[in-house]
Copies of this chain bind each other. A is one copy, B any other.
């Protein structure tokens, strides 16, 4: 990620910066983008025109916003969409059974990507969003994934993205993390007890098919509803059960 030995198309960096700026600004014109990125107004204009010509942006009377062309490519990240489709009913069932929110997550470039969700009737959504990319080390779903990656890959990820401490309980020492991953591997599920947000807990389980890690599923909610036995026994059982169901469905495809 950080090695820039290979030759790349430099103007693409600007191009994607412009796309990202429009995304961040939730729509804007040449001047706004130029200021945001500290480039010439005319350059911003050229890139905006380019992205619009290729239909990645929509032009609306001088202002631009992100189009849906990306969806076209993103959605067809195929093997993962299969996982989303297959996991969907299990997510719904977990959401209904627990009343909380349930997610599928996959790994990409050392980050976690939320793929699909299901909301129970009491569900709150404090953090995730479909397509959002987050660090792996301080969330349950992420630890479930890390636990099933090769150790050197985990070390690579950990050295590339610093272990940001979000709350007091966040694990910030690499070795401590690796030890925790060992436990996760043994018992089959990962926990998050207020490591991302104070007062929020989550239980996650990896989804493996044919020895290959596909992603993980997770249920999360506020501490007062996920207390004691529910957090340490009931939910782990539900989540690992759902993961098994998904693994079975994936195997028969």
* Binary contact readout A1-31 vs B (1 if CB under 8 angstroms, 0 otherwise): 1001011110111111001000100100000
Task: List residues of chain B with CB within 8 A of the CB of A7.
Answer: 46, 49
| Contact across chains for A68 and B26 when beta carbons are under 8 A apart | no
| Contact across chains for A131 and B49 when beta carbons are under 8 A apart | no
| Contact across chains for B50 and A8 when beta carbons are under 8 A apart | yes
Given contacts A9-B47, A12-B50, A108-B55, contact A72 B74 (CB under 8 A): yes
Query: Which partner residue on chain B sits nearest A15 by CB separation?
Result: B12
**A26: which of B49, B53, B78 is its contact (CB, 8 Å)?**
B78
CB distance from A48 to the nearest CB of B (A): 10
What is the bound-complex CA distance between A75 and B115, given in angstroms? 11
What is the bound-complex CA distance between A68 and B78, given in angstroms? 10
How many copies the complex holds: the figure is 2
> Is the interface on chain A under 10, 10 to 19, 20 to 34, or 35 or more residues?
35 or more
| Contact across chains for A71 and B108 when beta carbons are under 8 A apart | no
A241 contacts the other chain (CB 8 A): no
A253 contacts the other chain (CB 8 A): no
A252 contacts the other chain (CB 8 A): no
Given contacts A68-B77, A70-B74, A80-B68, contact A9 B11 (CB under 8 A): yes
Given contacts A15-B9, A68-B106, contact A131 B77 (CB under 8 A): no
| Contact across chains for B12 and A68 when beta carbons are under 8 A apart | no
A130 contacts the other chain (CB 8 A): yes
Given contacts A9-B47, A11-B12, A46-B7, contact A66 B55 (CB under 8 A): no
CB distance from A5 to the nearest CB of B (A): 10
CB distance from A130 to the nearest CB of B (A): 5
A201 contacts the other chain (CB 8 A): no
